[in-house]
Amino acid sequence: MENDKSQRVLWIYHWLQNGNPITVDEMSIQFCTTTRTIQRDISDIRRFLANQSVMEGWIGYVKYDRKSGSYILEEKIG
């Protein structure tokens, strides 16, 4: 369902905005979905953030931290 996807993506984005790292494996368990689905969700969030930086001058991006194996949200005002 599209609503499920919307809710999942918003939840992941909210989690990242609050400074929490996420892993694809943990999120796939949390939402009972595949890791590939979570990777697509992260790509959607990255596209959204890229559009926001163009429109508003706010720079935010989802970065993969190899050391911890998790994704984090990096923010810069520019």
Write out the E strands in 1-78. Answer: 58-65, 70-77
Q: In the predicted model, is pLDDT for residue 1 greater than 60?
A: no
> Domain limits of the chain?
2-77
CA–CA gap between residue 34 and residue 29 (Å, rounded): 8
Q: What is the pTM of this model?
A: 0.86
| Beta bridge partners of residue 65, listed in sequence order | 70
Q: Which residues, 6 or more positions from 57, have their beta carbon under 8 angstroms from its beta carbon?
A: 77, 78
Amino acid at 18: N
Q: What's the CATH architecture for 2-77?
A: Orthogonal Bundle (1.10)
pLDDT grade for 12, boundaries at 50, 70 and 90: very high
N- to C-terminal Cα separation, the chain: 37
pLDDT at 56: 66
**Token duo for residue 72:** 């984090």
